Amino acid sequence: MGDVKCAFIVQKPQYKGETSRLAITHAIAYQTVEILLEDGDTVTPKLCFIGEGVLGLQKGQNAMDVYGITSTESHVKNCLLVDLNVLVCKEDLDKYGISEDSLPDADDMGADMKIQVVPFSEIQKVLDESQHVLFF
């Protein structure tokens, strides 16, 4: 069957509910899914944050001290470390006054990937090219 492309669309703010975080952890699971697939089969997720989903992504989070849980920031950095495509809608960042500079990177972990701040038209392309679209 080869590769199956999936779009994980996060529309809810981080920390408000659980599912916006579960979108991230489920997407990261693409790293280990091959143990359950036939040789040559893969799942390629793209993690897209749109609407209110762009809230709670900024760097400098202190969730472990405040809530006793790992932060969304650390999850996003792990995504970048495992070469997961992370796209954030530029129009929605602008709407909420969030600068691109405030988003985390994983340079300190040695990641090559960066968060991609893109116009919604690019996210629309991800929706079009994906076999399955999952809204969180």
Helices marked H in the chain — which ranges? 19-28, 63-66, 72-81, 90-95, 120-129
Q: Binding to other proteins by residue 17, rule CB under 8 A?
A: yes
Q: Binding to other proteins by residue 6, rule CB under 8 A?
A: yes
CA distances to 11, 31, 65, 132, 136 from 14, in Å: 9, 22, 16, 23, 11
The only residue of 59, 95, 114, 132 in contact with other proteins, by rule CB under 8 A: 132
| Single-letter code of the amino acid located at 36 | L
Q: How many residues bind other proteins (CB under 8 A)?
A: 24
Each residue 21-60 as x (binds other proteins by CB under 8 A) or -, in order, gives -x--xx-xxx-xx-xxx---x-x-x---------------
Nearer to other proteins, 9 or 88 (CB): 9
Query: Sheet harboring 116-118: ordered strands across?
Result: 116-118, 85-89, 42-49, 3-10, 132-135
- Residues found near other proteins in the complex (CB under 8 A): 1, 4, 6, 17-19, 22, 25-26, 28-30, 32-33, 35-37, 41, 43, 45, 132, 134-136
